Amino acid sequence: MEKKNITIYVKVWRQEDANTKGRFQTYTVEDVNPDMSFLEMLDVLNENLIKNDDIPIEFDNDCREGICGMCGVVINGTAHGPKSGTTTCEVRMRQFKDGQTILVEPWRARPFPVIKDLVVDRTAFDRIMSKGGYISVRTGGVPEARSILVPKENADQAMDMAACIGCGACVAACPNASAALFVGAKVSHLGLLPQGRPEAKRRVDRMVVQMDEEGFGACSNHGECEAVCPKEISITAIARMRREFLKAAVG
């Protein structure tokens, strides 16, 4: 049975730049195919705006395959939208009803200033990564698979944490705008493996200090970060980061 196209009302945040006061503006998008992705719907809206000599809505996107997380926006109050474990580009219009009004906002956090409309500056994450999100030890050529033994539990946990794509949904969802889940994931996925242990103390100390300097808030265990993370990173990452930070402080 052919699916009936729907009409959507998009109430979207429009803001010229970080220094300009923003506002919500409502647009009508007709004949929306339910199988469209959310970004395809925004593409159609922008095409209509251009035809009417209006300024199109700026929004970030790249892979449109749920890999990079650049597409992240807040949809009806939820980072990345109504479907758990997905990025904005994976949201389909069949998840909305005919005639529904959809509220679309950028990430709301002081360390993520608005560049324009739905686009925010997330280079604060890059600066945190530059402080320790890497392994600088020279390892030479690729070692044999069994030359460095890693417990399966550690390997599995490290892979789970390495799934973090740094989209910033955790920050947008947290009432304190905390980046603890992001930093915890990066600290964990390197610290759980033997190659990452020599720099573990310096890594967690420098990354946590940079996180605070960027202006991110403290974690108060609301758990909203875990709920909206498109890669479903567990908040155990935050517990591990705290433990590593304390060990570095007393060690």
Residue extents of the structural domains in the chain: 6-105, 123-250
Return the CATH number of 123-250, one of 3.60.15.10, 3.40.718.10, 1.10.1060.10, 3.10.580.10: 1.10.1060.10
Q: Do 80 and 228 contact (CB within 8 A), yes or no?
A: yes
Q: Quick one: which of 117, 107, 92 has its CA closest to 182?
A: 107
Question: For residues 183 and 164, what is the distance between their CA atoms, to the nearest angstrom?
Answer: 10
Q: What is the pLDDT of residue 139?
A: 63
Region class of 143: left (phi > 0), else alpha (psi between -120 and 50), else beta: beta
pLDDT at 2: 66
What is the model's pLDDT at position 137? 72
Overall average pLDDT of the 95-101 stretch: 97
Q: 148 pLDDT band (50/70/90 cuts)?
A: confident
- In this predicted model, what pLDDT tens digit does every residue of 19-56 receive, in sequence order? 999 999 999 999 999 999 999 999 999 999 999 999 99
> In terms of C-beta density within 10 A (0-12 exposed, 13-18 middle, 19 or more buried), how is residue 50 classed?
exposed
Question: For the chain, what is the mean pLDDT?
Answer: 94
Q: Please, which pLDDT band fits residue 144 given cuts at 50, 70 and 90?
A: confident
Average pLDDT over residues 215-221: 96
CATH fold for the domain made of 6-105? Ubiquitin-like (UB roll) (3.10.20)
**How many C-beta atoms lie closer than 10 Å to residue 212's C-beta?**
12
Region 182-187: mean pLDDT is: 97
Q: How far apart are CA 146 and CA 191, in angstroms?
A: 19
- Find out whether 100 and 10 touch, Cβ atoms under 8 Å: no
For residue 177, give both structure tokens.
Answer: 């705008």
Give tens-digit pLDDT for 130-141.
999 988 877 667
Full-model pTM: 0.93
The pLDDT of residue 143 is above 90: no
pLDDT tens-digit series, residues 58-93: 999 999 999 999 999 999 999 999 999 999 999 999
Query: Under DSSP, is residue 48 helix (H, G, I), strand (E, B) or coil?
Result: helix
Q: What is the mean pLDDT of residues 225-236?
A: 97
pLDDT of residue 145: 67
